[in-house]
Structure formats: structure tokens, C-alpha cells
Amino acid sequence: MRIQETIIIEVDPTNPEEKKLKRAAEIIRKGGLVAFPTETVYGLGANALNRKAVIKIFEAKGRPMDNPLIVHISDMKMIREIAKMNEIAERLAKKFFPGPITLVVDKKEVIPPEVTAGLETVAIRMPSHPIALKLIKVSGVPIAAPSANLAGKPSPTKTEHVIDDLYGKVDLILDGGETNIGVESTVVDTTVYPVEILRPGGLPIEEIRKVVDVKTFDRKVGVPKSPGMKYRHYAPEAELIVLYGKREDVIRKTKEMAEEMRGKGMKLGIVATKASAYSGIDAEVVELGDSLEEVAKNLFSSLRDLDKRGVDIIIAEGVEEKGLGIAVMNRLKKASGHRFYRV
Ligand code: AMP
Ligand code: MG
């Protein structure tokens, strides 16, 4: 990679400064890479209509070329230039754009094959974060942007995560503070009916079901049409084990396992909804919070945090699989290499 120095600019997340976004937009238009916050996680953006720029995204992340990218747009006119919207996609866009949902629709010719990994469909999203939305608008082009992390790592929810993974590999990072939702968008295939959830995410499936028929999301079979999902994802350096069930049982089992591992001389990390439940255990404990919103928001950050503290193994408390909890458990299952156990 040729880029050596990365510029980092602090931007007001509620009312982003025009001048700073113009500088970022200039880089996008010239074929460079800009990392920016969205309401879900930080994205690594390039001009979606420029092949060479798009290829740089894969190089910077070490992302396999058969894993397609999501294209971010700022208005409906931009969508129609790159995609053939069907009636279902229109309905979902009208209800949920801008927001944490991605629609898979048939693509138009202008989208280069690298963006969609050769597929005839393209994944489209209109982010609601003011920095993301305004950056796309000022750039005047659709922006292809996967999460701004090295392939396989937990997605970045803070600028420091982007710096850790991509410093020296991107031209500019827009620092807009912590992202709000913390898990990626819900990916919906609108080319079939009932629509299919390819990846659960920030918009709960229950919300989508109020607007269109949704094929039952099979948590085990997963995602044949979402090519990228076959890769290991979201994984910390440490080994990860997920325990789920009644909360008091999970806490008791975690304590038991913690003792056992400490006996083997392993440094232990615990990802807990409530840290005080683990007092008295010799472990690094990160608290996520009680609500599913807090758990989603703090999840990826907690995994990165424990890696920094040098733990060998992490035990994470699972959550109930409803609402945002479906996305949280999906990420935990993948991050743990499917080492999750009911207690
Ligand atoms: P990421 O950008 O890392 O959050 O991942 C984007 C997700 O969207 C991956 O799971 C991709 O496989 C999925 N995706 C992107 N484009 C398509 C498409 N045309 N069809 C199906 N899934 C897609
Ligand atoms: Mg990603």
C-alpha cells in the first residue's frame, strides 16, 4: 500500500463542519480512502463507481475479493442511478431509510463487478449518521464502505479502533466519537418474496416484519446468499466462549469455569451484562450494561478492550435472541467460532 500517513480530523457528529467534509469528499472523488462514522459502526469508504478505489478497500482490510461491499447513498435519486428498485425495496426504503438496514436489489451497469463480487445484485444503505450522510452528499458519488477494521476483527465503534487496524493504510479518518448502535446493519434480500434476512443487525427483524413478509430467519443454516458470511468474523485475538441460558446459571457457570482456567494459569476476561455479579473472581471484567441497546453498543469494543489487556480467554454472557439480541448473538457465535453453550 502506498499511503503512509493518515490524517485524522475531529468532526462534530451532530452538526458536521462543511469545510472538513469537503476535504474528505475531495479525497473520495480523487479515488482515495476515507474512514467515517455511521450510526452502526465505522465504515471504510471509497467512490463506488471507481474500480481502482474500490480495490484499495480490499487491500487495506485484507478482505477476500469474493465478499461484496455495501454501497452507501444519500438520497433516492442516487439509488436509482445504480440500482433497479422493485416495489418491496421501495416500500422498505420509504419506511426505514435513512437507518440501519441494507437492501439487496438488482444492480445497474455503472457499478463495477468488484463492488458486488461479480453478483448481479448490489447491497444499498442510506446511513442516518449526519457525518456519513453529509459526506456522501458533498462527495456527490455513492460510497462503497465495509466496516473499517482488518478482515476478521471486531468491527470498529470508536476512532481508536480504526487507528489500531488501519493507520497508514487510509488517507483520512473522520473522528466523530463513538457510534451509537454498535452492530452492523440488517441485510435484507428484496429480490425474493417473502424477503430474506441475510444478516441480522441494527434494525430488529420484528420491525421489518411489520412492513413486508419475512422468511423465517434460520440461525443455524445462516446465509447462503451473503457470500462474505462464510469467513471468520468479529473475532478477538483471545479465545472466546459464549454461555447462555438463565442469567443466574450463566453467572454460576462462568465463575466455575473461571476458577478452572485460572488453575491452568490462563489470564481470563469476562464480558458481562453486570460486572458486580463477578466480584471476587480474578479476571478482567468488562461491563456491557443491562439493556440490549447497551449490549449491542459496547460489544465489539469490549472484545478489543480485553485483547489490549492481554487475556488468553474470554467468557461472554449470551443474551436472549429477540430484537437486537438476535444480531448480538449472531456476532458472538461467529466471533467464538460457534463455541457457544447453553447452561
Ligand atoms: P460488511 O460491509 O463487512 O458489513 O459486510 C457486508 C455484508 O453485506 C456482507 O455480509 C456481504 O456478504 C453482504 N452483501 C453485500 N452485497 C451483497 C449482495 N449483492 N448480495 C448479498 N449479500 C451482500
Ligand atoms: Mg465487516
Q: Which contiguous run of DSSP H or E holds residue 327?
A: helix 324-335
Residue with the nearest Cα to atom 5 of ligand 1?
A: 146
Q: Is 116's C-beta closer than 6 angstroms to any atom of ligand 1?
A: yes
CA 167–ligand 2 middle distance (angstroms): 17
Give the number of the atom of ligand 1 that is nearest the alpha carbon of residue 184. Answer: 4
User: What's the gap between Cα 287 and its chain centre?
Assistant: 20
One-letter amino acid at 180 equals N
Kindly state the percentage of the chain with pLDDT values over 90.
86
- Euclidean distance between CA atoms 127 and 36, whole angstroms: 11
Name the pLDDT band for 297 (thresholds 50, 70, 90).
very high
pLDDT at 338: 84
| Longest CA pairwise span in the chain (Å) | 61
Angle in degrees, CA 181, 11, 170, rounded to 5: 85
What mean pLDDT is predicted for residues 152-170?
A: 98
DSSP per position, 160-171: HHHHHHHTTTSS
Q: What is the pLDDT of residues 61-88, one digit of tens each?
A: 999 999 999 999 999 999 999 999 999 9
pLDDT at 224: 46
Q: Give bridge partners of residue 317 from the DSSP assignment.
A: 243
Name the pLDDT band for 216 (thresholds 50, 70, 90).
confident
pLDDT at 144: 98
**Helices and strands (H and E) in the chain: how many:** 11, 16
pLDDT at 315: 96
- Euclidean distance between CA atoms 44 and 42, whole angstroms: 7
Name the pLDDT band for 225 (thresholds 50, 70, 90).
low
Contact 147, 127 (CB under 8 A): no
Give the number of the atom of ligand 1 that is nearest the alpha carbon of residue 146. Answer: 2
Q: What is the pLDDT of residues 92-127, one digit of tens each?
A: 999 999 999 999 999 999 999 999 999 999 999 999
Give the number of the atom of ligand 1 that is nearest the alpha carbon of residue 145. Answer: 2
Domain architecture of the chain: domains with CATH: 7-215 (3.90.870.10), 239-342 (3.40.50.11030)
Q: Is 121's C-beta closer than 6 angstroms to any atom of ligand 1?
A: yes
Best residue for ligand 1 mutational test, from 121, 191, 198 (most atoms within 8 Å of Cβ):
198
Ligand number nearest to the C-alpha of 67: 1
- Euclidean distance between CA atoms 223 and 200, whole angstroms: 10
Name the pLDDT band for 223 (thresholds 50, 70, 90).
very low
The better pLDDT of the pair 261, 91 is held by 91
Q: What is the pLDDT of residues 271-286, one digit of tens each?
A: 999 999 988 888 999 9
pLDDT at 221: 46
Burial class (CB in 10 A: 0-12, 13-18, 19+), 94: exposed
Q: What is the pLDDT of residues 164-213, one digit of tens each?
A: 999 999 999 999 999 999 999 999 999 999 999 999 999 999 999 999 99
N-term to C-term CA, the chain: 47
pLDDT at 230: 61
Q: Which contiguous run of DSSP H or E holds residue 252?
A: helix 247-263
Q: What is the pLDDT of residues 302-323, one digit of tens each?
A: 999 999 999 999 999 999 999 9
242 pLDDT more than 50: yes
pLDDT at 227: 60
Residue with the nearest Cα to atom 20 of ligand 1?
A: 226
Q: Is 38's C-beta closer than 6 angstroms to any atom of ligand 1?
A: no
Enter the pTM of the model.
Answer: 0.95
Q: What is the pLDDT of residues 17-51, one digit of tens each?
A: 999 999 999 999 999 999 999 999 999 999 999 99
The answer, yes or no, to whether the previous bond of 68 is cis (omega within 30 of 0) is: no
Q: C-alpha cell of 63?
A: 478482505
233 pLDDT more than 60: yes
SS3 assignment, position 90: helix
pLDDT at 263: 87
Phi-psi region of 65 (alpha: psi -120 to 50; beta: other; left: phi over 0): alpha
Best residue for ligand 1 mutational test, from 104, 157, 331 (most atoms within 8 Å of Cβ):
104
